[in-house]
Structure 1
Amino acid sequence: MINPVWLRTFVALSEMKNFTRTAERLGITQAAVSQQMRQLERQFGKLLIRRGREMQLTPAGVALLQYQQEMETAENRLQMRLTEAEATCGDIGIVSTGSIGLRLYPLLLDLQQQHVGLIIRHRFAPDTEVLEAVLSNHYELGLTSSKPDDPRLHASCFTKEPLELVVPANKTIDSWQDLIQLGFIDHPDGRSMATRLLSRCFPGNPGISSLPVTGFSNQVSLLLEPIARGLGFTVLPHFARISFANQQAIKVMETSVSVVDTLWLIHRQEWPLSSRAENVVSYLRQALHCTVDVPI
């Protein structure tokens, strides 16, 4: 049986890589850190190698650290089982890309108002950060626009989201020349989204680089403000557009072809969703009238 205090000290030391800083972090003396490491090394052999200011784990140290991580995973699973009845109280974390997040966050707040014991944590992030946040267990649920191929993640279709060509309410787009005259309001994913949609709607066009750029914003919640003021057009996802407050000032142009993305719900593969997470997912699917291709 491994002393849990010694194991906690070893984990902290493997992160801090310094005996003094580890002692300060744990609120103990440096001598106590050294003594606990000696006790562990009597059980498992050399765990750390020190070369000047550098510190490295030995194979035995790596194995012990992996053991601690496996114990933490097992404890998380146990906690989920013990709190199975607590579907409407406790903490739930969800991280999503910007467009779907704009639609989901008000719905999540509605749910929290219905269940005062529920604590909602929501974060906006690009796809790569969504994956990392779920893999690192900082958030139980993630929504991303690309299906991950990491075996540690379970992915299921959450909803579909079309790209939309959005113009000022008093404008009409009939040709590429109309786009040139209006000008493009760019955003971080603007060029790729515009290329995907406009290349199909206007085949043979000279490309997005031929359009004058009349503005840029990296805030998806503010992106449609210049369009509402008649300063240009943009291409962005459906949920970002419907979250804009001033709908009467903008217009979605009907296009001859559509480009529709799949949004994927992800969580860790190794353990089932908590009852809280299942409740939230069910509520969001119903609120969005989602068509689910693959069950959770």
Structure 2
Amino acid sequence: MINPIWLKTFCTLVDIGHFTKTADVLFMTQSGVSQQVKKLEEQLATPLLIRDGKSFTLTDAGIRLHQEGRTLLQASELLEQNVKQDEPFVGQVRIATPGSVGLALYPFLLDLQKRHPALRISHTFSPNKSIERDIGLRQFDLGLMTYPSTSADVITEAVAQEALVLVTPNTIESLTWQTLQNLGYIGHPDGHQHCQALLQPNFSQFEHPSQFTEKGFSNQISLILEPVSRGLGFSVLPLHAARAFYAQERIRIHRLSSPVNETLYLCRHSHVVQSQRARYVAEQIKTLLSQSNK
């Protein structure tokens, strides 16, 4: 009989494609991962990997073992979930979200955990593509994305609309095209996309974000509005990110005459029976998001 621990290590390595990252996920050392794969090869008396430095490719036997082994492991995990007692307020729930909605969600999750001390919530900020991939790999129980998944392993459900807003220094009471030109733009990784989406239907003069002088850039969601608050420019962000900025008295959030929203999708693995605790947290998240955009 194949050792299930060695099999899990091998399948996780193939899914992730990297020895060091696999070791981190499984809370092992890199040498421990290598040793377990080697023991599995010895047990089966056939090579599973062709190693090339830090990278590897699968042999035919390795491909077959990964395909059938992953199915076996998932069936085993589902069986364990079904026979164990499943309580709504006990155990771990792993969640991944984009930065903007995560800023609003994280304090709420801490409140849930405080209300139910036996509930352990792990929250990770992550981009959409990584969330979709990691939900498929079952590294998270729940995720939020700003587009529906195209993966057969991931179910997405539209749960809320998140408004895009234009944010200026607090001294700016009314907006004109010339005001934006004078202020200049504070960029961020999704800035051009957000700028295009919100400004095009609201300003006839708008063609492209390059029409504005870029006065600054930050890839940290909590810091994007720091230069805005100091009068150095304007930015376009999802509402959750704008509301989460610590110095609200120094910024002004503008909702424009033609509103633009991003849809938020709650996602989970399509072949996993959700625990009661994951369902509970998912319902709490949906309730929060349905109220927070008002």
TM-score bucket (shorter structure) = 0.7 to 0.9
Aligned-partner residue type, residue 108 of structure 1: L
Report the counterpart of residue 134 of structure 1 in structure 2: 135
Report the counterpart of residue 228 of structure 2 in structure 1: 227
Report the counterpart of residue 40 of structure 1 in structure 2: 44
- Given that residues 92 and 120 in structure 1 are in contact (C-alpha distance below 8 angstroms), is that contact kept between their aligned partners in structure 2? yes
* Structure 1 outlier segments of 4+, above 6 Å: 26-30, 49-55
The correspondence of residues 1-296 of structure 1 with structure 2, limited to 5 A, is 2-4=1-3, 8=7, 11=10, 25=32, 33=39, 37=41, 40-41=44-45, 48=48, 57-83=58-84, 85-289=86-290
Please give the per-residue CA displacement for 1:230-261, whole angstroms capped at 9, x wherever unaligned.
Answer: 22111000111111122122112231201111
Quote how far apart the aligned CAs of 1:61 are.
3.8
- Given that residues 84 and 275 in structure 1 are in contact (C-alpha distance below 8 angstroms), is that contact kept between their aligned partners in structure 2? no
Aligned-partner residue type, residue 186 of structure 2: I
Q: Distance in 1 between matches of 2:72 and 2:235?
A: 50
Aligned-partner residue type, residue 4 of structure 1: N
Quote how far apart the aligned CAs of 1:143 are.
0.5
Structure 1 pair 73/6, CA: closer, same or farther in 2 (3 Å)? closer
- Given that residues 50 and 59 in structure 2 are in contact (C-alpha distance below 8 angstroms), is that contact kept between their aligned partners in structure 1? no
Specify every segment of 5 or more residues in structure 2 that has no aligned partner in the other structure, as ranges: 20-28
Quote how far apart the aligned CAs of 1:85 are.
2.7
Structure 1 pair 178/58, CA: closer, same or farther in 2 (3 Å)? closer
Quote how far apart the aligned CAs of 1:284 are.
1.8
Give the 3-state SS of the residue equivalent to 2:44 in structure 1: helix
Aligned-partner residue type, residue 167 of structure 1: T
Q: Distance in 2 between matches of 1:135 and 1:29?
A: 24
Q: Distance in 2 between matches of 1:178 and 1:238?
A: 21
Q: Distance in 2 between matches of 1:113 and 1:264?
A: 26
Quote how far apart the aligned CAs of 1:80 are.
2.4
Structure 1 pair 122/213, CA: closer, same or farther in 2 (3 Å)? same
Give the 3-state SS of the residue equivalent to 1:122 in structure 2: strand
Quote how far apart the aligned CAs of 1:38 are.
5.8
Q: Distance in 2 between matches of 1:207 and 1:93?
A: 39
Give the 3-state SS of the residue equivalent to 2:201 in structure 1: helix
Aligned-partner residue type, residue 164 of structure 1: V
Specify every segment of 5 or more residues in structure 1 that has no aligned partner in the other structure, as ranges: 292-296
Q: TM-score, normalised by structure 2?
A: 0.83
Give the 3-state SS of the residue equivalent to 1:166 in structure 2: strand
Quote how far apart the aligned CAs of 1:72 are.
1.2
Structure 1 pair 270/37, CA: closer, same or farther in 2 (3 Å)? same
- Given that residues 11 and 69 in structure 2 are in contact (C-alpha distance below 8 angstroms), is that contact kept between their aligned partners in structure 1? no
Q: Distance in 1 between matches of 2:94 and 2:154?
A: 16
Q: Distance in 2 between matches of 1:51 and 1:95?
A: 32
Please give the per-residue CA displacement for 1:205-237, whole angstroms capped at 9, x wherever unaligned.
Answer: 353211111121111112112222222111000
Aligned-partner residue type, residue 153 of structure 1: V
Quote how far apart the aligned CAs of 1:173 are.
4.0
Q: Report % sequence identity.
A: 32
Quote how far apart the aligned CAs of 1:138 are.
1.0
- Given that residues 94 and 122 in structure 1 are in contact (C-alpha distance below 8 angstroms), is that contact kept between their aligned partners in structure 2? yes
Residue-pair matches, total: 279
Which entry has the higher C-alpha Rg, 1 or 2? 1
CA RMSD of aligned residues (A): 3.3
Structure 1 pair 74/218, CA: closer, same or farther in 2 (3 Å)? same
Structure 1 pair 52/147, CA: closer, same or farther in 2 (3 Å)? closer
Further displaced range: 174-183 or 154-163 = 174-183
- Given that residues 9 and 36 in structure 2 are in contact (C-alpha distance below 8 angstroms), is that contact kept between their aligned partners in structure 1? no
- Given that residues 48 and 60 in structure 2 are in contact (C-alpha distance below 8 angstroms), is that contact kept between their aligned partners in structure 1? no
Q: Distance in 2 between matches of 1:86 and 1:268?
A: 20
